[in-house]
Amino acid sequence: MVDDPAQAAAERLAAAARAGGHLALTGGSTPRLAYERAAELQRDWSEATLWWGDERCVGPEHELSNYRLAKEALLDRLEGSPQAVQRIEGERGPAAAAAGYEAALRAAFDASVPRLDLVLLGVGPDGHCASLFPGAPALAEYERLAVGVPEAGLAPWVSRVTLTLPVLTAALEVVFLVTGAEKADAVARAFGESADEAIPASVVAARAASVTVLLDRAAGGL
Ligand code: 6PG
């Protein structure tokens, strides 16, 4: 638990961008401030390649777009743009967008499972991360690198594309950024003493090599 989780996340994003490598961003509302701070800390991202952990099946200008969030809060504020921005083309629909994204991942990484340098994740009140919702079929996917999620398990009720567990858990560094009292129960179940396999965030945290969970007091309340 830290006083300023956004700043702590921004520092990790900026360091990863400075080092160069592959970073996967998250969506939702929590990361906006972290992205703005990261752009202030590190203005040149030309050594980095950007990916996303998930995306809503909407166009890049749509208010629900995770790409749009990153563009407004980060990309438009940089002096050096990332050498590659691997946007998930959600507007193509879940299946086609996931297939295209998986092809981009396979093209960028020789290994069978991409090893991203840093993956930033949020956690939903239900314990989902990326667009891996509790009990969802996507949690059982171990061959594909990305899949479509036709039915979201939580608002916004739009189809999604998500990285699968093999990719999320292969990352060299996973950073969870979670704030607000409405997340306290999910945080307690996801990151408490005993890993709760029913909670996707818990599964990722239990299997990833290096995991940092950044919480404010409210989210860490339980
Ligand atoms: C998404 C995100 C999702 C998010 C959680 C938390 O596309 O919605 O990737 O996994 O991290 O839902 O969202 P908030 O930050 O809005 O609470």
Per-residue pLDDT, 193: 84
Nearest residue to 129 via CA among 162, 84, 107, 96? 162
> Residue 134: CA atoms inside 13 Å, Cβ hemisphere, count?
14
Q: With a cut of 90, say whether residue 155 has pLDDT above it.
A: yes
Residues 18-34 pLDDT 10s: 999 999 999 999 999 99
What is the residue with the minimal CA distance to atom 9 of ligand 1?
Answer: 27
Ligand 1 near 122 CB (within 6 A)? yes
Task: Give the count of beta carbons closer than 10 Å to the beta carbon of residue 88.
Answer: 28
**What is the average per-residue pLDDT within 82-105?**
98
Any idea what the Cα angle at residue 184 is, between residues 204 and 163, rounded to 5°?
Answer: 25
pLDDT above 90 as % of the chain: 96
Residue 28 CA: which ligand 1 atom is closest?
A: 16
Per-residue pLDDT, 111: 79
Task: Give the count of beta carbons closer than 10 Å to the beta carbon of residue 87.
Answer: 21
Ligand 1 near 29 CB (within 6 A)? yes
Taking every pair of Cα atoms in the chain, the longest distance, rounded to a whole number of angstroms, is 44
Residues 179-195 pLDDT 10s: 999 999 999 999 998 77
The amino acid that residue 129 corresponds to is C
Mean residue pLDDT of the chain comes to: 97
What is the residue with the minimal CA distance to atom 10 of ligand 1?
Answer: 130
Strand order in the sheet with 174-178: 84-85, 48-52, 21-25, 118-121, 174-178, 211-215
Strands 118-121 and 211-215: unpaired
> Residue 121: CA atoms inside 13 Å, Cβ hemisphere, count?
36
- Kindly calculate the radius of gyration of the chain based on its CA atoms and give it in whole angstroms: 16
Grade residue 212 by pLDDT with cuts at 50, 70 and 90.
very high
Phi and psi, residue 130, nearest 5°: 50, -130
